[in-house]
Copies of this chain bind each other. A is one copy, B any other.
């Protein structure tokens, strides 16, 4: 038995679910889970994620795609089938600190993060040892703010990855790179977006005397720390917490928000829509 996922979005209208479920039934399939959302049943946009098994092995993703095409056209939808047995290839970029890198590699090695990791790439040489201990290729690029070596990054990432994760990568990626790479990039920001953008959010939180801090995993777009939010984690703090305490507590939030966002993403539960996300 093979498991497939259909992600589908179009202008809300009658008969979508009937048509999709009929399609699955006619392929002798059984729906395992389905999630749907409409921004507004009157004239809004409709999204659905259907996970289903096909009892017979003869169908491949391409067959389904071909046969579903008329339905997609009928509704004016954007849609995609995914084969759950195909794992996505996730490139990791990291500078410092490395707590998210450590967490992702461990989750991956213990089977809790179902991806391939073609490489860890860093402008900090010392992470090589960690990558090696997990038998993951490591690429060092001699990059800093003045020379981001984006061509080098692109040459590593373009063909070998399905998406990139910036696990505390301190070099802002240029619009030019984003356009050339043209796939999803997930960043972890150590603050509670849409606020405390940019550097040193812990210092800003301290200055404002907030009683709650946060961390945000989001898609990267052309604006710094402004892409669609996927996951956020928060924690209470008090006047006793020093800047170091906030950084330390923030690390836990970052690990949790990033791992949670990636888990949703690789299970095709995240849909981007109007600079926001739907997370099924």
Partner-B contacts on A (CB < 8 A):
12-18, 21-22, 24-25, 28-38, 41, 53, 97-99, 102, 106, 110, 112, 129, 133, 192-195, 208-212, 214, 228-234, 236, 238-240, 248, 252, 256, 275-279
Q: Which of B38, B112, B212 contacts A32 (CB 8 A)?
A: B38
Secondary structure of the A side of the interface?
mixed
Say whether, besides A30-B14, A99-B110, A37 and B212 are in contact (CB < 8 Å). Answer: no
Number of copies: 4
Q: Which of B21, B232, B276, B278 contacts A18 (CB 8 A)?
A: B21
Say whether, besides A25-B18, A34-B17, A239-B37, A232 and B252 are in contact (CB < 8 Å). Answer: no
Say whether, besides A97-B110, A209-B277, A21 and B17 are in contact (CB < 8 Å). Answer: yes
22 chain-A/chain-B pairs, Cβ below 8 angstroms = A14-B25, A14-B30, A15-B21, A17-B21, A17-B31, A17-B34, A18-B21, A33-B38, A34-B36, A37-B239, A97-B110, A99-B106, A192-B212, A194-B195, A209-B228, A209-B276, A210-B232, A211-B231, A211-B279, A212-B233, A212-B234, A239-B276
Whether B36 pairs with A33 at a CB distance below 8 angstroms is: yes
Residues of B within 8 A of A12 (CB): 30
Whether A102 pairs with B112 at a CB distance below 8 angstroms is: no
* Distance in angstroms between the alpha carbons of A229 and B14 in the assembled complex: 36
With A14-B25, A232-B236, A238-B279 given, name 11 new contacts (CB 8 A): A14-B29, A17-B21, A17-B31, A35-B35, A37-B239, A102-B102, A133-B133, A208-B276, A211-B232, A212-B214, A212-B232
The 8 closest A-B pairs by CB, nearest first: A209-B276, A18-B21, A17-B21, A211-B232, A18-B25, A195-B195, A239-B278, A15-B25
* Distance in angstroms between the alpha carbons of A33 and B17 in the assembled complex: 10
Say whether, besides A12-B30, A53-B41, A210-B229, A102 and B97 are in contact (CB < 8 Å). Answer: no
Most chain B beta-carbon contacts within 10 A, residue among A17, A230, A276: A17
Q: How far is the CB of A236 from chain B (nearest CB, A)?
A: 8
Whether A18 pairs with B24 at a CB distance below 8 angstroms is: yes
* Distance in angstroms between the alpha carbons of A114 and B195 in the assembled complex: 33
